[in-house]
Amino acid sequence: MKPDVTIGQGPLLLAQPHGGLDIPDAIFARLNPQGQMRADTDWHISRLYADLVPEVTIVGTSLHRYVIDANRDPSDQSLYPGQNTTSLCPTTTFDGADIYLAGQAPSADEIRDRQRQYHQPYHDALRAQLDRIHQRHGYAILYDCHSIRSVVPYLFDGRLPDFNIGSNDGQSCDAAIETAVSAACEQSKGFTRVINGRFKGGWTTRHYGEPERGFHAIQMELAQCNYMQEQSLWQYDERKAECLRVILAAILRNLVRVFD
C-alpha cells in the first residue's frame, strides 16, 4: 500500500499518518469487535486541513494505525517512558482495551514484516519530499497533523487542551517555528493551547527535526471535540470545523512566511 503524496512547491509539508481507515482483510479478521470499530483514528484530518494554503506538500497513508503506527519508532521504543501509550503495532485502544481476538496479536516476525511493508515506505516518501523541499528552498518545514478525543483517561488526566503543540521541548525546530504556531493559537478566542505538554511530538517530529540543517518539524495534536462528534459515528461538524479551519489556516500561513 503506497503512501498518498501530493506535491506542492512551497516550503511546508503536512504529514498525516493516522487518518487512514484501511486494514487488510487478513488482519481485520483477527481483530475483535472493539478493534474493528477503528475508534482511534485521526478522523477527517485530511478534510480539516484541505486547501488552507496553496502549494503545500502532503504525505499521508490510507492504512489504519492498528496495522502499524507510522508515527512510532520503528524499533518500538516508547516515546513516553513511564506513561501509558500504544506500540508500533498496537494491541490495545487508547483506553487500554484489547483489539485482537485471543491469541491473534502479531508476532515479533509479523511486526518486522509490517514495518518493512508499510512503515518504511511512508517514511521513504516523507524523506524524499523533505529533501526535495529543502533543495528548492534551503529549508523544509514538516507540520505533523494529528487529532485525538479530548478525554482519554488512560493516556492523560482531565480534558486535553484544544491545541497541543509539540517540538520535542524545542529541539525539533527553530524557535520561530514554535512561535509562529503558538501565536496563531493565542490569537484565537475561546480555545486553549499548550506547548510540549502531554504530546511533545512523535517519532516523525523527533526523527526529522534537525533545525541546524534546515529541517524543522512540529506536531499539532487537536482535541477532536472542536470539529467532530467524539463517538461513533464520528461525524464531522461543519460549523465547528469551519471555525477551527480559520485558525489552522492562520497557523499554516504563519509557517509559510516564517523565514521570509
Q: Is 32 exposed, middle or buried (0-12, 13-18, 19+ CB in 10 A)?
A: middle
Is residue 89 within 8 Å of residue 68, measured between CB atoms?
yes
**Ranges in the chain, pLDDT < 50:** none
Return the bridge partners of 66, or none. Answer: none
Residue range 72-117, pLDDT digits in tens: 999 999 889 889 899 999 999 999 999 999 999 999 999 999 999 9
Is residue 43 within 8 Å of residue 228, measured between CB atoms?
yes
- For the chain, the structural domain boundaries read 4-257
Residue range 164-190, pLDDT digits in tens: 999 999 999 999 999 999 999 999 889
Q: Is 228 exposed, middle or buried (0-12, 13-18, 19+ CB in 10 A)?
A: buried
Give the global pTM. Answer: 0.97
Confidence (pLDDT) at 1: 75
Nearest to 124 by CA among 70, 205, 201: 70
Confidence (pLDDT) at 189: 86
Please determine, looking at this structure, whether the domain spanning 4-257 carries the CATH number 3.60.15.10. Answer: no
| Cis upstream peptide for 233 (omega within 30°) | yes
